[in-house]
Structure 1
């Protein structure tokens, strides 16, 4: 179906999703973990993105042992119900573990130092043979919601057929853990300084969606992950607008 500037009469209802901006500190400044999605993906094929994905209905399971801000706090920060907020936090932790191997969970009061020991559970989570609640309970782990910070809220433009209502979380790589690219959804993964990732996109070596580009621009202004983690954020919903300019499609932000 050809692109139209006119919004559809019945836009696709966006699916709730969670994205995690994972940071680490280096001598050269902060780095962010990015993945290039495989070309066969139905959404954002070939794009360079942060780890994340859609909410699974089981992510709202209230039996998950939880440390940190309550679901009511996340609902206030991001908007929506407590059930949706709980599911978003759980989806953020689950998706990051599935796609990068980084696990924001641990025994009471702690966080696992080496998540590689849960490789079998990681694969079972990715195949949906295991729920996050089942994994955490069976392993005696507590979800660490206090290791996440709300960062942004983006909704896919109304012209798109596949739409997501995505909340962006910020996290810092836990000491002792390692991020990898052992996921079927990415053809490559790695750490980059935000300004280097932007330079790659400007040079045509990678392709970024508007939320990724915008977030990297923000992150480039921080010297350390702690500084970014402590930044005051007001979460506003951003729904970009798509317009045609000649033979190109331009993305407009809310203030343009």
Structure 2
């Protein structure tokens, strides 16, 4: 169960609306209660939905960072599907337009090959078997579901590693767009970071931790570099690393 809880590090810190937060809270509750009650089949379904939510948030970030490439990746879809995907107002709306297995093709935009995409998508096929009446219980004991969770978390970490260039692009864009104090939406740096970076881009704790290691000195030649550094320092202070929190305590 501890490894399942690790997935929370890869899910957003805040959401566009309350319904999204409520939905994720419901899935976590369903996972915990069914796991503790040894109803592992249902616990696996809840964890799968959390996994697919993580995938949808990643695709959302790819669309934000690389809209041109995202549009090109839709070649072969029906024209109405192309328009609806670009107009989706929430990561969860992707599944209104596409089959679950189709969503994984967008991970090719971050360098994943066909074999990797197949590994990411295999859990959908397994979940589909569980979701239909087969007369078979796939997860009869804790060891079985723990093995499944471990396999899924391996792929979560794989996707997150491939997502790092996208997160870097989104962070650089935020620093550049929010550097000018006269143009910022919020005067308080913490509010600007929370609203226009973390919230807007569905950033997770893992994403933020990666941004904390951003080489801000590499932007020394850009206009308003000092203001960018102030934003970066504010991010580090606002979301301290786990070790820093323990040391402060």
TM-score by shorter chain over 0.5 = no
The TM-score normalised by the length of structure 1 is 0.29
Q: Which has the higher helix share?
A: 2
Which structure would you say has the larger Rg? 2
Q: Which has the higher strand share?
A: 1
The TM-score normalised by the length of structure 2 is 0.30
